[in-house]
Amino acid sequence: MKRLFCSFLLILITAAPAYASIQSGQWKYYREVRSSKEGFVLISTDKDLLEKAQKELSDLRLTDDEGREIPYQAVRQESPREYSYPPLLIDVVTRDNSSSLTLDLSKTGILHNEISLDIENNEDYLRDVTVEGSNDNSSWSLIKKDKLFYVPPDFKKSKLSYTPVSFRYLRLTVDCSGKKPLRITGAGVKYVPPLNNIITKTIPVNQQPPRNDLKTKTTEIIIDLGTKGYQVDHIDLKTDSPNFYRRVEIYESDDAKEWSLLTSDRIYAYQWPGYQASSDSISVHLNTGRYLKAVINNQDSPPLDVRAEVYGEAPELLASLTAGNYKLWYGNPLAGRPRYDLDQFSGMIDKIGLENISPGPEQVNPEYKEKISPENSKHLVNATVIIAALVIGFIILKSLKSKPTQ
Predicted local distance difference test score (pLDDT) of residue 12: 34
Q: How far apart are CA 358 and CA 335, in angstroms?
A: 24
**187 plus 202 within the same structural domain:** no
Predicted local distance difference test score (pLDDT) of residue 8: 38
The answer to whether 316 touches 359, Cβ cutoff 8 Å, is no
> Per-residue pLDDT tens for 208-241?
999 999 999 999 999 999 999 999 999 999 999 9
Predicted local distance difference test score (pLDDT) of residue 385: 63
User: Could you tell me if residue 5 is inside a domain?
Assistant: no
**208 plus 299 within the same structural domain:** yes
Q: How far apart are CA 224 and CA 237, in angstroms?
A: 15
The 3-class secondary structure across the chain, one letter per residue, is CHHHHHHHHHHHHHCCCCCCCCCHHHCCEEEEEEECCCEEEEEECCHHHHHHCCHHHCCCEEEECCCCECCCEEECCCCCCCEEECCEEEEEEECCCEEEEEEECCCCCCCEEEEEEEEECCCCEEEEEEEEEECCCCCCEEEEEEEEEEECCCEEECEEEEEEECCCEEEEEEECCCCCCCEEEEEEEEECCCHHHHCCCECCCEECCCEEECCCCEEEEEEECCCCCCEEEEEEEECCCCCEEEEEEEEEECCCCCCEEEEEEEEEEEEECCEEEEECEEEEEEECCCEEEEEEECCCCCCCCCEEEEEEECCEEEEEECCEEEEEEECCCCCCCCCCCHHHHHHHCCCCCCEEECCCCCEECCCCCCCCCHHHHHHHHHHHHHHHHHHHHHHHHHHHHHCCCC
> CATH no. for residue 183?
2.60.120.260
User: Could you tell me if residue 6 is inside a domain?
Assistant: no
Q: Are strands 155-157 and 141-151 parallel, antiparallel or unpaired?
A: antiparallel
Q: How far apart are CA 322 and CA 177, in angstroms?
A: 68
Task: Decide which of 192, 226, 248 is a domain's last residue.
Answer: 192
Q: How far apart are CA 133 and CA 144, in angstroms?
A: 10
User: Could you tell me if residue 396 is inside a domain?
Assistant: yes
More confident residue, 227 or 386: 227
Lowest mean pLDDT among 68-82, 262-276, 356-370: 68-82
**303 plus 206 within the same structural domain:** yes
Predicted local distance difference test score (pLDDT) of residue 1: 46
The answer to whether 205 touches 192, Cβ cutoff 8 Å, is no
> Per-residue pLDDT tens for 14-40?
333 333 334 778 999 999 999 999 999
Distant-in-sequence, close-in-space partners of 241: CB < 8 Å, separation ≥ 6: 269, 304, 305
**303 plus 245 within the same structural domain:** yes
Q: How far apart are CA 371 and CA 334, in angstroms?
A: 8
More confident residue, 318 or 183: 318
User: Could you tell me if residue 341 is inside a domain?
Assistant: yes
**230 plus 244 within the same structural domain:** yes
**205 plus 147 within the same structural domain:** no
Q: Phi, psi at residue 240, to the nearest 5°?
A: -95, 0
Angle at 270 between CA 267 and CA 274, to 5 degrees: 150
More confident residue, 20 or 98: 98
**69 plus 98 within the same structural domain:** no
Partners of 31 in the β-ladder: 328
Lowest mean pLDDT among 131-140, 313-322, 339-348: 339-348
**229 plus 163 within the same structural domain:** no
Length of the chain counted residue by residue: 406
Range of the domain at 387: 372-406
Domains in the chain, number:
4
Tell me how far CA of residue 224 lies from CA of 274, 289, 353, in angstroms. 40, 9, 32
Q: How far apart are CA 307 and CA 122, in angstroms?
A: 36
Q: Are strands 244-253 and 260-272 parallel, antiparallel or unpaired?
A: antiparallel
Predicted local distance difference test score (pLDDT) of residue 184: 86
> Please, which pLDDT band fits residue 195 given cuts at 50, 70 and 90?
low
Predicted local distance difference test score (pLDDT) of residue 277: 82
Task: Decide which of 192, 210, 243 is a domain's last residue.
Answer: 192
Could you report how far apart the first and last alpha carbons of the chain are, in Å?
17
**51 plus 67 within the same structural domain:** yes
User: Greatest CA separation found in the chain?
Assistant: 120
pTM of the model: 0.69
Q: How far apart are CA 153 and CA 158, in angstroms?
A: 14
Angle between helices 374-402 and 2-14 (to 10 degrees): 170
User: Could you tell me if residue 116 is inside a domain?
Assistant: yes
Task: Decide which of 192, 223, 252 is a domain's last residue.
Answer: 192
The answer to whether 327 touches 70, Cβ cutoff 8 Å, is no
**100 plus 143 within the same structural domain:** yes
**353 plus 401 within the same structural domain:** no
